[in-house]
Amino acid sequence: MDLAFDRQHIWHPYTSTLTPLTCYPVTSAKGVYIELEDGKQLVDGMSSWWSTIHGYNHPVLNEAAHGQIDKVSHVMFGGMTHQPAIDLCKKLLKLAPSNLEHVFLADSGSVSVEVSLKMALQYWHAKGTPRSKFLTLRDGYHGDTFAAMSVTDPDNSMHSLYKGFLPEHIFAKSPQCGFWHEWHESDIDDFKHKISQHNDEIAAVILEPIVQGAGGMRIYHPEFLRRVRALCDEHNVLLILDEIATGFGRTGKLFACEHADVQPDILCLGKALTGGYMTLSATLASKNVADTVCGGEAGCFMHGPTFMGNPLACAVGSASLSLIEEENWQAQTNMIEHQFATRLPKLRQYSQVKDIRWLGAIGVVETHHPVNMEAIQALFVEQGVWIRPFGRLIYMMPPFISEQEHIGKLVDAIEIALQTEDCFQS
Ligand SMILES: *Cc1c(COP(=O)(O)O)cnc(C)c1O
């Protein structure tokens, strides 16, 4: 591959054009293995950012894609519909929290967040009492487009760069009580204070249930989420749950909100929706939200992307949901959680380790010093695994089809990195 061209001309995520980091050339992938150009096989620890839950090159998903591509790859969704969209949405509504009845399909997770925020704004406008603020949590992540970024942690997403342009919303303290720890009532104080202080300005609360992902891989107490739902009801504020990362079994429940037994008014889904084959998102709304939005002055929901309901993506998404309906994900994520629970605690002995935590098919090692990306990435590749840390977080979210030996290989590689000084900045 022409890596020199790539290096000189192609932007990669959060990467400098002046001093780009090494990019590893991939030629194919199958199951949990990613194959590099030199033939090296890497055990995947990332599910390509939460998405490839069934593994790569899956026969059922391949068949769905091939079958659809020979019929129609894309057709506009305005005034037309098709079986793949109907199949996908039927399955989604069957699996999702029971109060959600309407599905809006769009291109990506960030767009789903934009859509959810627009729904909330239109909801209050339609009621004749417009509201323009959102309440969210510190350390959250909701995407890279502007509205999504405006509710993402201000420091992590460098709000300072966009000052004067980015809308300013309300941030409550992030939960401090971990999932497996004791609940302390004071954890909800700041949130409670902010929602009661600003309740008639707040259109909706938006947050990631149970696991704050890209904002810090924080796994918090279900009681926090239960309190949030109760406070939203008490203060008449909508609740948007962003399950773009956590949805479809990743936390050991089909949706993370099930850990707290709560239902959102609006739900954002993406990432694993197509089993990692292509980009697609879904924003689900309650009947109350949809009816109110469409009963307002606009008479409809004001959004309609070109590739809305793309048949190819819907066909693969529908096939992926069929795999989920077979329910193997439950045993698989239980097994992975058990592997993390038995293998991760021994890493506490290394001085570099600040904390370890896990839930479902998510395992996190937080270190004292930020990783040296170039060095740690090279070490992982040499060890035959694909793990991509950021900052002080080395984390794994392997495909659900991973076996014990694969999880073992990932954890072993991390253990070697923890003993290698080069892998960390001092
Ligand atoms: C990844 C992510 C998004 C953004 O999705 P994209 O498809 O990257 O636009 C939004 N919210 C959460 C919680 C995510 O993890």
Q: Is the pLDDT of residue 299 over 90?
A: yes
Average pLDDT of span 228-254: 98
Judge if the beta carbon of residue 214 lies within 6 A of ligand 1.
yes
Cα-based distances in Å from 265 to 27, 53, 234: 42, 26, 14
Name the CA radius of gyration of the chain, rounded: 21
Tell me, yes or no, if 271 is annotated catalytic. yes
* Domain annotation covers residue 269: yes
**415 pLDDT band (50/70/90 cuts)?**
very high
End-to-end CA distance of the chain: 35
pTM over 0.85: yes
* Domain annotation covers residue 271: yes
Closest residue by Cα to residue 243 from 100, 156, 113: 113
Do 215 and 244 belong together in one domain? yes
Do 156 and 245 belong together in one domain? yes
Integer Cα distance of 178 and 274 in angstroms: 30
Cβ 393 vs Cβ 355: under 8 Å = no
* Domain annotation covers residue 62: no
Average pLDDT of span 393-411: 98
Q: Is the pLDDT of residue 33 over 90?
A: yes
Cα-based distances in Å from 74 to 63, 104, 265, 321, 406: 17, 17, 30, 20, 37
Tell me, yes or no, if 141 is annotated catalytic. yes
Judge if the beta carbon of residue 109 lies within 6 A of ligand 1.
yes
Do 116 and 161 belong together in one domain? yes
Element housing 363 (H / E)? strand 362-367
* Residue written as token pair 């950012």: 49
User: Looking at this protein, which amino acid is placed at residue 222?
Assistant: P
Average pLDDT of span 124-142: 98
Q: Is the pLDDT of residue 389 over 90?
A: yes
Cα-based distances in Å from 197 to 59, 193, 194, 409: 53, 6, 5, 50
Rounded to 10°, the helix 404-418/373-382 angle is 140
Ligand 1 pocket check: which of 141, 151, 174, 307 to mutate, most ligand atoms within 8 Å of Cβ? Answer: 141
Cα-based distances in Å from 34 to 37, 382, 386: 10, 13, 8
CATH code of the domain containing 251: 3.40.640.10
Nearest protein Cα to ligand 1, atom 15: 245
Integer Cα distance of 116 and 103 in angstroms: 11
Average pLDDT of span 380-404: 98
Q: Is the pLDDT of residue 143 over 90?
A: yes
* Domain annotation covers residue 97: yes
Tell me, yes or no, if 14 is annotated catalytic. yes
Judge if the beta carbon of residue 216 lies within 6 A of ligand 1.
no
**278 pLDDT band (50/70/90 cuts)?**
very high
SS3 414: helix
pLDDT at 327: 85
Give tens-digit pLDDT for 204-221. 999 999 999 999 999 999
Average pLDDT of span 14-41: 96
**234 pLDDT band (50/70/90 cuts)?**
very high
**426 pLDDT band (50/70/90 cuts)?**
confident
Helix, strand, coil share of the chain (percent; to 5): 40, 20, 40
Judge if the beta carbon of residue 339 lies within 6 A of ligand 1.
no
* Domain annotation covers residue 64: no
Domain count, the chain: 2
Do 319 and 338 belong together in one domain? no
Do 45 and 162 belong together in one domain? no
Domain end point (choices 325, 360, 377): 325
Instruction: Kindly list the strands in the beta sheet with 353-359, ordered across the sheet, starting from the edge strand earlier in the chain.
Output: 353-359, 362-367, 393-396
Average pLDDT of span 17-40: 97
| Catalytic, out of 139, 153, 242, 265 | 242
Average pLDDT of span 110-122: 98
Domain that holds residue 126: 71-325
Give tens-digit pLDDT for 342-367. 999 999 999 999 999 999 999 999 99
Tokens representing 330 are: 């439950």
E strands present in 259-384: 266-269, 281-286, 353-359, 362-367
Tokens representing 90 are: 């039927």
Average pLDDT of span 149-166: 94
pLDDT at 114: 98
Average pLDDT of span 330-343: 98
Tokens representing 359 are: 């839930």
Percent share of the chain, pLDDT over 90: 99
Do 153 and 258 belong together in one domain? yes
Do 321 and 216 belong together in one domain? yes
Integer Cα distance of 378 and 384 in angstroms: 10
Domain end point (choices 290, 325, 360): 325
Do 233 and 299 belong together in one domain? yes
Cβ 206 vs Cβ 142: under 8 Å = yes
pLDDT at 244: 98
Nearest protein Cα to ligand 1, atom 11: 142
CATH code of the domain containing 347: 3.90.1150.10
Ligand 1 pocket check: which of 49, 52, 110, 136 to mutate, most ligand atoms within 8 Å of Cβ? Answer: 110
* Domain annotation covers residue 63: no
Do 270 and 248 belong together in one domain? yes
Give the length of the chain: 426
Closest residue by Cα to residue 122 from 296, 303, 287, 282: 296
Do 267 and 228 belong together in one domain? yes
Domain end point (choices 278, 295, 325): 325
Q: Is the pLDDT of residue 45 over 90?
A: yes
Average pLDDT of span 153-161: 93
**Mean pLDDT taken over the chain:** 97
Integer Cα distance of 282 and 264 in angstroms: 14
**282 pLDDT band (50/70/90 cuts)?**
very high
- What is residue 155's DSSP assignment? T
Do 38 and 110 belong together in one domain? no
Average pLDDT of span 252-270: 98
Average pLDDT of span 360-388: 98
Tokens representing 101 are: 């009845």
Tell me, yes or no, if 291 is annotated catalytic. no
Ligand 1 pocket check: which of 111, 113, 269 to mutate, most ligand atoms within 8 Å of Cβ? Answer: 113
Do 332 and 189 belong together in one domain? no
- What is residue 175's DSSP assignment? P
How far is ligand 1, taken at its centre, from the CA of residue 232, in Å? 23
* Residue written as token pair 């487009």: 145
Judge if the beta carbon of residue 141 lies within 6 A of ligand 1.
yes
